[in-house]
Amino acid sequence: DQQVKQNSPSLSVQEGRISILNCDYTNSMFDYFLWYKKYPAEGPTFLISISSIKDKNEDGRFTVFLNKSAKHLSLHIVPSQPGDSAVYFCAASDTGRRALTFGSGTRLQVQP
């Protein structure tokens, strides 16, 4: 039973355009959401987070949107750069459990 789903295994965009990565979750107890980026042979690196009391959080080129009623979040990268090419993982947690539940990842390729 996958509680966090990233239905697109891969995404390709042109440099300078917007990248939109999507994530759906099923557990209504989740109250904190994060995006991690992973390069080959490295551990995941924290990108941006959002708590369930907000619907948007921005950090430079990265914005995360949370739609609680739809149990959906998305990561927008504007403008996309070739260095953004990596696997992006969506993760969620509930404060009761102290563990992150990850999606299976989306591989983003930004074409120069």
Partner 1 sequence: GAGVSQSPRYKVAKRGQDVALRCDPISGHVSLFWYQQALGQGPEFLTYFQNEAQLDKSGLPSDRFFAERPEGSVSTLKIQRTQQEDSAVYLCASSLADWGTEQFVLTFGAGSRLTVL
Question: Site for partner 1 (CB under 8 A): how many residues?
Answer: 25
Residue 79 has a CB neighbour count (10 Å cut-off) of: 14
What minimum distance in Å lies between the beta carbon of 14 and partner 1?
A: 26
Q: What are phi and psi of 50, to 5 degrees?
A: -155, 140
What minimum distance in Å lies between the beta carbon of 46 and partner 1?
A: 5
β-partners of residue 72 are 24, 67
What minimum distance in Å lies between the beta carbon of 79 and partner 1?
A: 25
β-partners of residue 36 are 46, 89
Residue 19 has a CB neighbour count (10 Å cut-off) of: 24
Asked if 66 and 12 count as a contact pair (C-beta separation under 8 A), the reply is no
Q: Is 111 in the site for partner 1 (CB under 8 A)?
A: no
Q: Which of residues 41-100 bind partner 1 (CB under 8 A)?
A: 41-46, 49, 51, 89, 91, 95, 97-100
- Closest to partner 1 by CB, 13 or 90: 90
Tell me which of 25, 64, 103, 110 binds partner 1, using CB under 8 A: 103
Which amino acid makes up residue 63? T
Asked if 10 and 104 count as a contact pair (C-beta separation under 8 A), the reply is no
- Residues of this chain that bind partner 1 (CB under 8 A): 4, 6, 32, 34, 36, 41-46, 49, 51, 89, 91, 95, 97-105
